[in-house]
Each structure stands twice: as structure tokens, then as C-alpha cells.
């Protein structure tokens, strides 16, 4: 039995793992997460609805794209998407978090600002592929309500829309410039950071037609990277650049993480600590712990606070705090250079872990 991959073409996080599975040359069979699959296979296994889900050849269920990639890294042969170089690995982990959780804002904005009808049809095509097109559209519109309804929780409002577009285009220009010199983030081999970026940049911002046009126009090399990072199954190739080098052209992107995303993570950590104080004895974290004012491109807006990204930040910090000597010095130099000094002293306390597909206090 190959791996079974419950996923959907329109799904952001499905694209992240599909690109990885294909590069890693893992034998897998993709199952469309249609309504029956959700009800019969996904809900009973997870206790809630989420894609993508990986079922391993021995029947284990793995959810969360990071857990899926880590499972496959541990169980499948071949080169790793985690660079051996400690500073490259630090940058790659930061960029996975940045792609998964910060570029999500642009991904959701562009889908719903410019591709609404396409998205409704795609939701219907996924959930009810056997119904006539009109029915699929109608039911798709209903199924999409929850996703479209999440925009204000992510701080996506008419007030922030211009700033979201400005910062996204800034990101696109920076990544396009990087890709003029390197096929992937750290050379000719894709890293965990590439797959973090691939989520928002493939299924939403490349594949949604109006967003894809913007990407092709503003940053054609990013569109080309999205195709390559999501290319059909192929022979494993590529190496990370030598000498633990973080290419100079990644500095503007990492700086953007420090300027835009890190403050959100700091507020999230403070809110987690407050939530834990307010909820003694409760171990399982809610999907959101509260609300805050965040800034994107200098524009302030209300936004919900999600504890999940702190689990990803904890991975970054665990890697960083494990470094010693010259490696630590080099990592410190990078953090200073990008304006992320605060990461040097940050700790996710209380610690978080994922257990039975839930985020809980460790």
C-alpha cells in the first residue's frame, strides 16, 4: 500500500505537502477530500475536519503539514529538506513559519478579493465532484462560507487590503530577485522553507486565476518556482549551497518576517500566557485565545490571536537554543542582521505540543 493523501487542489496546505511528496519521490495516492471522504475518513480519524491528512502504509493517521513532512523525513529514504547547516536550517524554519502563517494573510485576501466565483466553484468541485456544475457552485458557496468568514479574524479588512497588497508585492519582488540567482531558497535543493512558502504561493496565489496573473506579471520567477516546487513526481535532485550560507538575497525576506510577523508572534505568546493564567487546569488550547491590534505594512487592524503558530515558533527556538559556539554566534549574527534580536531571548513558555491532533500544553 502506498501512502494515502487526503487533499484537494484548492487547498493551501495540501499544496505544501504535495510539492514535498513529489520532490521526495514518496509513492502516494491522492484522494480528493470530497464530502463522503470528510465524513467517513477524516472526521472519525481527527475528530474534526481538516486537510491534508496522510495515512501511512501501516494505517497511521498524520495531520498537520509539519508533522506529515517530519514523519516522512523520519521514515523515507533520500535527501532531507532540512539543511545540515545550522544557520540555513534556522532561516528555513523561520521561512516555513512565515509562509504557513504570515503569507496566509495575502493568500486569503487575494483569493476572496479577486477569485470569489472561481473559489466557490472549486469548493463545490472538491466536496461534490459528481453533481452538475451549477449545483456544485451553489453547494460550494455554502461550504466556503466558513473560510471567507475567517477574513476579519485574520485581520483582512477593507482597511488593511491596500497594505496587504503592498507588502505582498514587496515580498514578491524580493523573492523574484532571489530566484534570479538560486533555483530554491538555499540552492538547487528545496528546503522546508520552500514548502512553507509553497502553501500560500501555490494553491491560492499561483493557481487561483486572477492571483496567478498578478504573480506572473509582478514576479514571473516566483511563478516558475511555484511550478518547479510543485512539479510532478521526479527524480530527486539538488544540493543546499555550501558553507552554511544564507544567500544575501534572502535578507530582505527574513527582515520582513522580523518586521511584520514577529510582533504578531510576540503578542500571541503574551496572550497564551494570559489565557493559561485565566484557565487553570485546562490543557487543550482553543483555536483562538483572544484578539489584538496588529500592523501590516504600518496599518493597524483588529485580529484574532491563534496559539497554533507558537508551536511552529517553538520549533524555530528549539533549534536556535540547541546551537553552541561558532554556530550560535553565526545564528546570532543573522538574527541581528534581520532585526529579529528578540528571538534570542524568546521562549514559548508554557511549552506546547500536538497530541491526538490537538494543540495542548506540554
Ligand X SMILES: N[C@@H](CCC(=O)N[C@@H](CS)C(=O)NCC(=O)O)C(=O)O
Give the whole-angstrom CA distance, residue 199 versus residue 134: 28
Rounded to the nearest whole angstrom, what is the least distance from the CB of residue 82 to ligand X in the complex?
17
Residue with cell 459528481: 130
Q: Does 11 bind ligand X (CB under 6 A)?
A: yes
Q: Does 3 bind ligand X (CB under 6 A)?
A: no
Rounded to the nearest whole angstrom, what is the least distance from the CB of residue 13 to ligand X in the complex?
4
What's the CA angle centered on 256, arms 250 and 257, to 5 degrees? 95
Task: Identify which of 50, 39, 48 has the alpha carbon closest to the alpha carbon of residue 8.
Answer: 50
Q: Could you say which residues in the range 245-264 bind ligand X, by CB under 6 A? A: none
Q: Does 241 bind ligand X (CB under 6 A)?
A: no
50 versus 139: smaller Cβ distance to ligand X: 50
13 versus 320: smaller Cβ distance to ligand X: 13
Rounded to the nearest whole angstrom, what is the least distance from the CB of residue 65 to ligand X in the complex?
3
Give the whole-angstrom CA distance, residue 63 versus residue 54: 6
16 versus 178: smaller Cβ distance to ligand X: 16
CB 140 within 8 A of CB 121: yes
Q: At what angle do helices 103-114 and 161-181 cross, to 10 degrees?
A: 120
Interface pick for ligand X out of 3, 5, 6, 12 (rule CB under 6 A): 12
Q: Does 65 bind ligand X (CB under 6 A)?
A: yes
3 versus 13: smaller Cβ distance to ligand X: 13
Q: Does 64 bind ligand X (CB under 6 A)?
A: yes
Q: Could you say which residues in the range 32-61 bind ligand X, by CB under 6 A? A: 49-51
Q: Does 128 bind ligand X (CB under 6 A)?
A: no
Task: Identify which of 354, 356, 359, 350 has the alpha carbon closest to the alpha carbon of residue 280.
Answer: 350
- Alpha helices per DSSP H over 65-191: 65-75, 86-97, 103-114, 116-127, 133-148, 161-181
Residue with cell 491563534: 306
66 versus 289: smaller Cβ distance to ligand X: 66
6 versus 240: smaller Cβ distance to ligand X: 6
13 versus 225: smaller Cβ distance to ligand X: 13
Q: Does 121 bind ligand X (CB under 6 A)?
A: no
Q: Does 360 bind ligand X (CB under 6 A)?
A: no
Give the whole-angstrom CA distance, residue 51 versus residue 18: 12
- The residues, any chain, with a CB within 8 Å of residue 251's CB and separated by 6 or more, are 337, 338
Q: Could you say which residues in the range 171-210 bind ligand X, by CB under 6 A? A: none
52 versus 212: smaller Cβ distance to ligand X: 52
Rounded to the nearest whole angstrom, what is the least distance from the CB of residue 50 to ligand X in the complex?
4
Task: Identify which of 318, 319, 340 has the alpha carbon closest to the alpha carbon of residue 260.
Answer: 340
CB atoms within 10 A of CB 240: 25
Contact residues for ligand X (CB under 6 A)? 11-13, 49-51, 64-66
Amino acid at each position: 500500500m502506498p501512502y494515502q493523501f487526503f487533499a484537494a487542489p484548492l487547498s493551501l496546505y495540501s499544496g505544501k505537502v504535495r510539492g514535498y511528496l513529489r520532490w521526495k519521490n514518496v509513492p502516494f495516492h491522492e484522494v480528493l477530500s470530497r464530502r463522503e471522504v470528510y465524513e467517513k475518513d477524516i472526521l472519525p480519524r481527527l475528530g474534526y475536519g481538516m486537510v491534508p491528512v496522510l495515512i501511512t502504509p501501516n494505517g497511521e493517521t498524520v495531520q498537520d503539514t509539519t508533522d506529515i513532512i517530519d514523519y516522512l523525513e523520519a521514515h523515507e529514504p533520500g535527501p532531507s529538506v532540512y539543511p545540515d547547516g545550522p544557520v540555513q536550517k534556522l532561516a528555513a524554519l523561520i521561512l516555513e513559519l512565515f509562509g504557513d502563517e504570515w503569507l496566509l494573510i495575502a493568500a486569503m485576501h487575494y483569493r476572496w478579493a479577486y477569485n470569489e466565483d472561481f473559489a466557490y466553484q472549486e469548493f463545490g468541485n472538491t466536496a461534490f465532484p459528481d453533481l452538475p456544475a451549477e449545483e456544485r457552485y451553489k453547494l460550494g458557496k455554502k461550504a466556503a462560507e466558513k473560510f471567507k468568514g475567517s477574513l476579519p479574524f485574520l485581520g483582512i479588512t477593507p482597511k488593511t487590503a491596500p497594505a496587504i497588497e503592498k507588502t505582498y508585492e514587496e515580498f514578491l519582488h524580493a523573492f523574484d530577485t532571489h530566484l534570479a540567482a538560486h533555483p530554491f531558497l538555499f540552492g538547487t535543493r528545496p528546503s522546508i522553507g520552500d514548502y512553507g512558502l509553497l502553501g500560500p504561493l501555490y494553491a491560492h496565489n499561483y493557481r487561483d486565476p486572477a492571483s496567478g496573473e498578478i504573480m506572473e506579471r509582478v514576479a514571473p520567477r516566483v511563478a516558475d518556482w511555484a511550478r518547479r516546487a510543485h512539479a510532478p513526481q521526479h527524480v530527486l535532485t539538488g544540493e543546499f549551497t555550501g558553507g552554511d550560507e544564507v544567500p544575501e538575497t534572502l535578507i530582505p525576506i527574513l527582515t520582513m518576517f522580523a518586521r511584520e510577523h514577529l510582533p504578531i508572534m510576540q503578542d500571541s505568546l503574551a496572550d497564551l500566557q494570559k489565557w493559561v493564567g485565566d484557565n487553570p487546569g485546562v490543557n487543550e488550547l482553543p483555536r483562538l485565545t483572544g484578539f489584538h491590534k496588529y500592523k501590516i505594512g504600518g496599518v493597524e487592524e483588529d485580529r484574532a490571536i491563534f496559539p497554533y503558530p507558537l508551536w511552529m515558533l517553538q520549533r524555530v527556538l528549539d533549534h536556535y537554543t540547541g546551537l553552541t559556539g561558532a554556530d550560535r554566534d553565526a545564528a546570532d549574527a543573522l538574527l541581528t542582521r534581520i532585526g529579529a534580536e528578540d528571538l534570542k531571548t524568546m521562549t514559548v513558555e508554557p511549552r506546547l505540543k500536538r497530541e491526538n491532533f490537538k494543540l495542548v500544553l506540554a
